[in-house]
């Protein structure tokens, strides 16, 4: 009898702790600052989230850090696709989606490939690195799937993020996982690198 009561107590406790009070699965990527983001983006699906330089960019969900670049090699003369992001961080969410943000000003030392991060973890400060030089500070935010390192043309974004940003802004959990997976199936794991892509 005592054991039964104990089991019931545990079950009640488990029910009390589950989803309603659990940490959110998704949060908006900018915290502590005002921001705006248009519904459009040049050339391919991604969202530029405009805010002030130095504002905090955080992990929208929990996952593991994928690629990190702390050196700005971009030049307006070459405008190489691989350099456009400037300082960036990508991570693979527990939902399987790769989240990418670029044009950062700085990235904490602790953010290294392979490091597990929880939702809301500080990943960098907003800036104007890479091809954002001379523009209003923003993060370029892209959703894609895991590819070999330096696959910049997939990493930069494959599906439109703004509707997910809308949900996260409103405190709703909305996962891009299904849409990203559908796009991966349609495009193939590794679409070819664009040749002579002009910047628009």
User: Shortest approach of Zn ion to residue 46 CB, angstroms?
Assistant: 5
| Token couple for 39 | 């519904």
The residue among 140 and 184 lying less far from Zn ion, judged by its C-beta, is: 140
Cα 49 to Cα 162: distance, rounded to the nearest angstrom: 9
C-beta neighbour count of 22 within 10 angstroms:
8
Half-sphere exposure of 137 (CA within 13 A, CB side): 18
Cα 78 to Cα 188: distance, rounded to the nearest angstrom: 29
User: Shortest approach of Zn ion to residue 13 CB, angstroms?
Assistant: 46
User: Shortest approach of Zn ion to residue 42 CB, angstroms?
Assistant: 7
CB 30 within 8 A of CB 123: no
The residue among 63 and 86 lying less far from Zn ion, judged by its C-beta, is: 86
Indicate the SS3 state at residue 122: strand
**Residue that is written with structure tokens 């992990």 in the block:** 59
Closest-by-Cβ residue to Zn ion is 140
Task: State how far Cα 164 lies from the chain centre.
Answer: 11
Instruction: Tell me the window of 23-31, 40-48, 57-65, 171-179 that interacts with Zn ion (CB under 5 A).
Output: 40-48
User: Shortest approach of Zn ion to residue 41 CB, angstroms?
Assistant: 6
- 92 to 151, contacts with Zn ion by CB under 5 A? 140
By CB under 5 A, residue 48 contacts Zn ion = yes
By CB under 5 A, residue 83 contacts Zn ion = no
Instruction: Tell me the window of 24-32, 45-53, 122-130, 163-171 that interacts with Zn ion (CB under 5 A).
Output: 45-53
Under the rule (CB under 5 A), what is the footprint of Zn ion? Answer: 48, 140
């Amino acid at each position: 009898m005592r054991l039964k009561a104990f089991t019931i107590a545990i079950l009640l406790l488990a029910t009390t702790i589950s989803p309603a009070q659990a940490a959110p699965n998704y949060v908006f990527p900018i915290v502590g600052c005002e921001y705006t983001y248009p519904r459009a983006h040049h050339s391919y699906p991604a969202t530029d989230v405009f805010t002030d330089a130095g504002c905090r960019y955080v992990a929208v969900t929990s996952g593991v850090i994928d690629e990190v670049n702390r050196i700005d090699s971009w030049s307006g003369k070459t405008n190489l696709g691989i350099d456009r992001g400037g300082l960036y961080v990508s991570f693979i969410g527990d939902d399987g989606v790769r989240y990418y943000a670029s044009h950062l000003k700085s990235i904490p030392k602790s953010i290294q490939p392979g490091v597990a991060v929880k939702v809301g973890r500080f990943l960098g400060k907003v800036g104007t690195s890479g091809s954002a030089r001379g523009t209003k500070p923003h993060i370029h935010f892209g959703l894609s799937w895991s590819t070999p390192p330096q696959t910049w043309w997939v990493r930069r974004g494959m599906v439109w993020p703004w509707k997910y940003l809308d949900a996260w802004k409103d405190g709703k959990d909305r996962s891009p996982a299904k849409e990203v997976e559908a796009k991966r199936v349609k495009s193939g794991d590794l679409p070819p690198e664009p040749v002579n892509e002009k910047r628009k």
